[in-house]
């Protein structure tokens, strides 16, 4: 049986609210405590770095994927259990996704939004059935949740799209959902 793998999308910056770093730290520690593997963008900066260092320190396996053009900018973290360098961002997202069983989205910027919308679109197109969990730390993702509702209300997506995303307020709630996913039979 392979290790349950959690792909975490989050910022290469830490943001202004200290709660964001706390959530990233808690997510990394929780992944280790549950004996899951962290799959992430292989950076050693911002929330990405916090998640990875917390997971590593607590003993988790870590799988990082970074495009070569971001090695310097995101300070590629080479001391991971597995470290993969891709040619571009598209390949990075694909490798991260293909090596995970669930997706967690912590606060982040345009890159995190890009990653979120890509996996949401793949889910909408029935290319996968993996859980997508949005951790709404201190209401950070509230405007995004409102936007998703607006998209449905304006007829650009069916209401089922909202069911593809689980919105939780805390890492602890995300872990409860991940435990359910880890117990469920694997679904592509």
What's the mean pLDDT in 23-46? 95
Task: Give the pLDDT confidence of 144-156 residue by residue, as tens digits.
Answer: 999 999 999 999 9
CA–CA distances in Å: residue 73 to residues 5, 20, 55, 100, 164: 26, 21, 22, 25, 32
What's the mean pLDDT in 30-52? 94
Task: Give the pLDDT confidence of 47-63 residue by residue, as tens digits.
Answer: 999 999 999 999 999 99
pLDDT score for 73 = 67
Min mean pLDDT across 76-90, 117-131, 153-167 is at 76-90
Residue 74 to residue 65: CA distance in whole angstroms: 11
What's the mean pLDDT in 6-11? 97
173-95-164 Cα angle (round to 5) = 40
Q: What structural domains does the chain harbor? A: 5-182 (3.40.50.450)
Strand 61-67's sheet: what is its strand order? Answer: 82-86, 61-67, 37-40, 5-9, 102-105, 132-135, 165-168
CA–CA distances in Å: residue 70 to residues 67, 75, 98, 112, 179: 6, 7, 20, 15, 32
Task: Give the pLDDT confidence of 88-129 residue by residue, as tens digits.
Answer: 888 989 999 999 999 999 999 999 999 999 999 999 999 999
Residue 41 to residue 48: CA distance in whole angstroms: 7
This prediction has a pTM of 0.94
Is 70 exceeded by the pLDDT of residue 188? Answer: no
Is 60 exceeded by the pLDDT of residue 187? Answer: no
What band does 1 get if pLDDT is binned at 50, 70 and 90?
Answer: very low
Q: Which residue has the higher pLDDT, 141 or 86?
A: 141
């Amino acid at each position: 049986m392979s290790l349950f793998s959690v792909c975490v999308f989050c910022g290469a910056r830490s943001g202004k609210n200290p709660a964001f770093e706390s959530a990233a730290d808690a997510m990394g520690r929780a992944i280790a405590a549950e004996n899951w593997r962290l799959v992430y963008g292989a950076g050693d900066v911002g929330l990405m770095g916090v998640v990875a260092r917390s997971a590593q320190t607590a003993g988790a396996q870590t799988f990082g994927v970074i495009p070569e053009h971001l090695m310097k900018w995101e300070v590629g973290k080479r001391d991971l259990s597995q470290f993969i360098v891709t040619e571009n961002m598209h390949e990075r997202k694909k490798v991260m996704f293909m090596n995970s069983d669930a997706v967690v989205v912590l606060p982040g910027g345009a890159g995190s939004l890009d990653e979120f919308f890509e996996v949401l679109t793949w889910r909408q197109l029935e290319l996968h059935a993996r859980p997508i969990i949005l951790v709404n730390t201190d209401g950070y993702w509230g405007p995004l949740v409102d936007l998703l509702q607006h998209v449905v209300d304006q007829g650009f997506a069916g209401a089922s799209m909202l069911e593809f995303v689980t919105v939780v307020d805390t890492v602890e709630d995300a872990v409860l959902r991940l435990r359910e996913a880890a117990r469920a039979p694997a679904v592509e």
